[in-house]
Structure 1
Amino acid sequence: MKIIGILLLIIGGIGLLLSSMMFGDIGLAAAIGSTTAILTGVGFLKLNKLLGVRLAS
Structure 2
Amino acid sequence: MKGIGMTLIILGVVGIILSFMMYGDIAIAGLIGSISSLVTGIGFMKINKIIPSAKP
What is the TM-score when the length of structure 2 is the normalising length?
Answer: 0.92
Gaps of 5+ in 1: none
Pairwise CA RMSD: 0.6
Is 1:2 equivalent to 2:2 in the alignment?
yes
Q: How does 1:1-57 map to 2 (within 5 A)?
A: 1-52=1-52, 55=53
TM-score by length of 1: 0.90
Report how many residues are paired: 53
State, as a whole percentage, how many aligned pairs show the same letter: 49
**Larger radius of gyration, structure 1 or 2?**
1
Instruction: Please tell me the residue identity of whatever aligns with 2:43.
Output: G
Following TM superposition, where does structure 1 have runs of at least 4 consecutive aligned residues deviating by more than 3 angstroms? none
Deviations 1:3-49 (A, max 9, x none): 00000000000000000000110000000000000000000000000
